[in-house]
Amino acid sequence: MRDNNIQCGRVIALAGNPNVGKSTIFNALTGLNQHTGNWTGKTVGNAFGQFEYRGERFTVADLPGTYSLEPHSAEEAEAEQFIRNGVAEKVVIVCDAGCLERNLILVFQILDVTRNVIICVNLIDEAKGKGIHIDIDALSAKLGVPVIAMVARRGIGLDELRSAIAAPLVNSYDTVCDERAVVQQRTTEEYVQAAESAAECATHIMGEQKRFQVWMDRILTGKYTGYPVMMIMLAGILWLTMKGANYPSELLWQGLHYIEGQLAMFMDWCGAPWWLTGALVYGAYRMLAWVVSVMLPPMAIFFPLFTLLEDLGYLPRVAFNLDRGFSCCRTCGKQALTMCMGLGCNAAGVVGCRIIDSERERKIAILTNSLVPCNGKFPTLLALIAIFFAGTTVSGQVGIMTLLIVMAVGGTFLCSAMLASTLFRGMPSSFALELPPYRTPQVGRIIVRSIKDRTLFVLGRAAAVAAPAGLIIWILANVNVGDVGLLTLIADVLQPVGHFFGMDGVILLAFILALPANEIVLPIMMMIYTSSGVLNDYSSLSELQMLLEAQGWDVVCGLCVLVFMLFHWPCSTTLLTIRRECKSWSMAALGALIPTLLGLTLCALINLVSYIFGAI
């Protein structure tokens, strides 16, 4: 059976445990910029690429990371099936030189399937720093297959690997995909074989790098220091993002606003009617310009910083620290990783939930991912914090934003526990969390990868919905029923509901219309309040504050909007992603209902408490 993604040439499979440098070898062989991650199961699907060597063309399949051929998740099952079906003529198994015993378990299982195997002992340099020496020749003689020492990120061993790949075949596959029972009966023996082989071929001496890792882990995962360090890290990333994004965002908006003027002049020159110019330029284009100018600068800072933590090896330590909390909620500690991904984009966090093996726990993680604020909510949250609570000091804004994110994590724990005890009852699954070694980050790759794979990807999806949304909102804003605008009429209908939750009808309508992108909540509010018919930017926070206070906003209203901005239905992109991942519209509806109920409940309580104290 041949995969539809495989184009031509001899097919080679790259297999191995998670976090052994498999995707780095794939990138080096094929030249593609496949994402390499620093947590368990980061590669969640097969990636294919090609290279030529000695006049032959080879297709390389980067399989999802797996610890054995007894799969516990859809991704591990995909890797196991690919190996057993004989799609690849050779299997390159990548091992971590620092964890050879654990990696050899998979090696012996694959050797039961085929002898056409090449072993890559990667990260030899890191193993040396830990005081570990691998006897490559002894290991090759022990296993009876080629073994290559590698440092993939520096290109060491790549030529030897290409040569081994191009070498003639040993024999065909020995077993077929349905003989899984044979592997299951050999599990204990393979553990013994792996332990014996590692003991014979590896020598251990405590090195300086190992001592450094032990010392760092005592700080980053310590009982009393782990959580404070996480708070400091989070506050530092937020501070850098906020401080660095303001000026570029302003310049970008000015440039895009200038283009808007030129487009309007061009439409006038073409003789276009006012309504067509308004719909296309002041509706679709202005919405697109707003989303790009607000989203691009902070994402261009936040995502590289986030990726830096991946490369350093810190994110698995975050999951380790939060595992106890999620275990108490009867869910999986891997949810901490997907929750962190949601800080950048909830849609990306939902997709990342594939790394969770248990179906019930994966659904819980998907449904609660939007409880943490994504990048699109930050501008509105910051503006409200500055106006009503922290003033213009960046340190105060960062402090309150950090507390809001901690509050969002608490909401995630609460809702996860409720789902685990009601709709998704069951015993929490256990998982082995690998804490990778601390590594020197590859700064150039981080910048390229974060901008290409995350920033532009998320921005493209937001832009795709921003322009149509701007068109629709402009039409609604410029259609009148009698002497009253349609948006004003709808806002009046929602006024009693909004008042009950400490807000008003305009605020609720703005949240509803901002379903395509969270960034446009404030611009829509300003458009309705001013009856301008077009989205308007505010030149300063003081100007925005004057407008909001003129509409009856006070500290209670600001707090309610702040809370509801934190907890309300996710954007349309995230909802569609939930639908695609769960193959269920009801799950997408539940994903919208959970944060909304939490937000409305908190807003109602805030309004009630303020009413009681006001009456007193």
Percent of the chain with pLDDT over 70: 84
pLDDT of residue 458: 67
**Contact indicator for 474, 278 with CB cutoff of 8 Å:** yes
SS3 assignment for 416-465: HHHHHHCCCCCCCCCCCCCCCCCCCCCHHHHHHHHHHHHHHHHHHHHHHH
Report which of 350, 395, 396, 340 is spatially closest to residue 373, judged by C-alpha positions: 340
> CA distances (Å), 210 to each of 141, 221, 226, 315, in order?
29, 16, 19, 19
pLDDT band at 193 (very low <50, low <70, confident <90, very high): low
**Taking the CB of residue 531, how many other CB atoms lie within 10 A of it?**
11
Whether residue 411 has pLDDT greater than 90: yes
For the cut 90, the answer to whether the pLDDT of residue 600 exceeds it is yes
- Range from 34-38, 91-95, 237-241, 526-530 carrying the lowest mean pLDDT: 34-38
Q: Answer whether residue 185 shows pLDDT above 60.
A: no
pLDDT of residue 184: 43
- pLDDT exceeds 70 at position 453: no
The pLDDT confidence band at residue 37, using thresholds 50, 70 and 90, is very low
Q: What's the pLDDT at 45?
A: 54
The H-or-E segment that residue 276 falls in is helix 274-277
Report the alpha-carbon distance of residue 298 to residue 237 in Å, rounded. Answer: 11
Cβ neighbours of residue 598 closer than 8 Å, sequence gap 6 or more: 371, 411, 414, 415, 567
Place of tokens 């081994």: 164
Query: What pLDDT is stored for residue 182 in this prediction?
Result: 41
**Prediction pTM value:** 0.68
Q: How far is CA 385 from CA 160, 240, 541, 561, 603, in A?
A: 58, 17, 11, 10, 16
Q: Which helix (H) or strand (E) holds 180?
A: helix 180-185
- Summarised one tens digit per residue, pLDDT across range 146-175 is 999 999 888 899 999 999 998 887 654 444
The predicted structure's pLDDT at residue 175: 42
Per-residue pLDDT reduced to its tens digit, 229-241? 888 887 788 778 7
Q: What pLDDT, on a 0 to 100 scale, did the predictor assign at position 177?
A: 39
Highest averaged pLDDT of the listed ranges 81-85, 117-121, 303-307, 326-330: 117-121
Question: Does pLDDT of 414 surpass 70?
Answer: yes
Burial of 461 (0-12, 13-18, 19+ CB in 10 A): buried
Q: Domains in the chain and their CATH numbers? A: 10-205 (3.40.50.300), 226-615 (no CATH)
So what's the pLDDT on residue 588? 94
Coil, strand or helix at 568: coil
> For residues 369 and 194, what is the distance between their CA atoms, to the nearest angstrom?
39
189 pLDDT higher than 70: no
Mean pLDDT check: name the lowest of 60-74, 396-410, 541-555.
60-74
Share of the chain above pLDDT 90, in %: 21
In this predicted structure, the answer to whether residue 179 has a pLDDT above a threshold of 60 is no
Q: Which residue has the higher pLDDT, 404 or 542?
A: 404
Residue 271 φ/ψ region, left for φ over 0, alpha for ψ in the -120 to 50 degree band, beta for the rest: left
Nearest residue to 336 (alpha-carbon basis) of 315, 309, 357: 315
Tell me the mean pLDDT in the region 470-494.
84
> What is the mean predicted confidence (pLDDT) over 110-137?
86
Task: Determine which helix (DSSP H) or strand (DSSP E) holds 367, and give its type and residue range.
Answer: helix 359-368
pLDDT tens readout for residues 456-466: 766 776 677 77
DSSP 8-state symbol, 571: P
- CA trace torsion 97, 102, 107, 110 (10° rounding): -150
Split at pLDDT 50, 70, 90, the class of 563 is very high
The pLDDT mean for the chain works out to 81
